[in-house]
Amino acid sequence: MAYRCTIRNNNYVFEDLKTVLAKASPMRSGDVMAGIAASSYEERVAAQMALADIPLIDFIQTDIIDYDSDEVTRLIMDNYDKLVFQQLSHHTVGSFRDWLLSEAANTETLTSIAKGLVPEIVAAVSKIMRNQDLITVAQNCEVVSRFRTTIGLKGHLSTRLQPNHPFDDEKGIMASIIDGLLLGNGDAVIGINPATDNPEKVAHLLMLLDELRIQFKIPMQSCVLSHVTTTLQLIEQKAPVDLVFQSIAGTQKANASFGISLSLLKEAYEAAISLNRNSASNQIMYFETGQGAALSSNANEGVDQQTCEARAYAVARHFNPFLVNSVVGFIGPEYLYDGKQIIRAGLEDHFCGKLMGLPMGMDVCCTSHAESDQDDMDSLLTLLSVAGCNFFMGVPGADDIMLHYQSTSFHDALYARKITNKKPAPEFASWLYQEGITDTEGLLLPTNELKTILLNSTL
């Protein structure tokens, strides 16, 4: 079905839903590369005007990617909560945007509608929202996840401590972990990206993290971000797997290029649950996503990258994750060219994830070949802190020496907590105090007053 809009006697006709979505998307290099972006500023606004008038029900009645050939579409259409959607079905995309910004949309109502939303609706509404709208609504959402720490409570801000090392040297990794813990980081997870996917090596790293946790009684989760097939193999060998990690995307073909399928994720979820390591909830999955993932494997099926990204959140949601984050600037400037595009995408991803009910964090980051720098990262970090992002990355000096990109530092997390008056996860904050790292107010003690024995006995 075609959608239309007329501006200054220019008649714009958009042949179907995915065309309107693509042309209404704020400008980004990936959609230009895919040949689906609006060709002028006017056409983009025309698409946004057309989009604002589309009834939400159209997104239920139309599969933007074919139901029979794509298992992600089947997952979406078979699993959204139809009763909840009924309450929203009178809206157009435009009136839904206005409702989201109204007083009626408080934390409770936003929580209650999450399961009724399909990702295409969430992506659509984000395209006609300004940055401040994305922040306002996301800030109203509260998505809490529980393992040994509680992540996502209002007034709290957590980090994934990311202690990567170019060849997985255990002492090198441990040095970065201690540095991060002493700076109050690591309450979401201590998560290592291994340099190789060698199962034996990954098992060693998991053991290292688990021993650290037990020795110092740290309320923490650990994860080695290996491919899900490697993790499955390690679970069979009874390795201490807290969280199953996997990169995911929003189309079946893109997931295939990651070497995964929904049934494989289900198998991994069930295997990890059987280890019984999380006594607080069934949340044991950790997913990473990012705009451009589908296009990078030629698997976007003509759909714009931000809508593909929202579809990945439907995949994540199905497995009740403990953590999800977009790696917004990681995939590169061919998808998000500069600081402006990265900042916009970061706010969209956080908003879409939260509105769909995900415990959303963000890797505020860029690569060295993007037109952006640490000032842009500071801007996005600040905006997302205000928006209530559950967690950021903590990388020593913001410099990941294994993955070769700029993320956020341990110090950045301290800054973000300070300016938004937030604390680490409650269990972790207590540990920092007991360990002699912070004072009674939760502030870091000066180095010469630290009482911790972490430095004495780990290296």
Residues that bind other proteins (CB under 8 A): 29, 33, 163-167, 169, 171-176, 178-179, 182-183, 195-200, 227, 229-230, 256-259, 296-298, 332-334, 337, 367-369, 373-374, 395-406, 409, 411, 414-415, 418, 444, 447-450, 452, 455-456, 459
* 88 versus 403: smaller Cβ distance to other proteins: 403
Alpha-carbon Rg for the chain in angstroms: 22
Question: What is the rounded CA–CA span in Å between residue 450 and residue 332?
Answer: 40
* 440 versus 456: smaller Cβ distance to other proteins: 456
Pairing mode of beta strands 285-289, 10-14:
unpaired
Structure tokens that stand for 453 in this block: 């024995």
Question: What is the rounded CA–CA span in Å between residue 69 and residue 131?
Answer: 35
Question: What is the rounded CA–CA span in Å between residue 136 and residue 98?
Answer: 12
In 3D space, the residue among 35, 6, 9 whose CA is nearest the CA of residue 304 turns out to be 35
Q: Which amino acid is at 416?
A: A
* 119 versus 163: smaller Cβ distance to other proteins: 163
Report in angstroms how near the CB of residue 195 gets to other proteins at its nearest.
6
* 93 versus 235: smaller Cβ distance to other proteins: 235
Report in angstroms how near the CB of residue 157 gets to other proteins at its nearest.
13
CB 64 within 8 A of CB 25: no
* 109 versus 297: smaller Cβ distance to other proteins: 297
Question: What is the rounded CA–CA span in Å between residue 69 and residue 184?
Answer: 47
* 133 versus 363: smaller Cβ distance to other proteins: 363
Which letter does DSSP use for residue 455 in this model? H
* 148 versus 417: smaller Cβ distance to other proteins: 417
Structure tokens that stand for 10 in this block: 């220019």
* 137 versus 432: smaller Cβ distance to other proteins: 432
Report in angstroms how near the CB of residue 172 gets to other proteins at its nearest.
4
Distances 341 to 27, 78, 311, 355, 433 between C-alpha atoms, Å? 7, 33, 20, 21, 40
Q: Which amino acid is at 104?
A: A
Distances 253 to 39, 106, 290 between C-alpha atoms, Å? 27, 37, 15
H-helix or E-strand spanning residue 51: helix 41-52
Report in angstroms how near the CB of residue 10 gets to other proteins at its nearest.
28
Question: What is the rounded CA–CA span in Å between residue 348 and residue 346?
Answer: 5
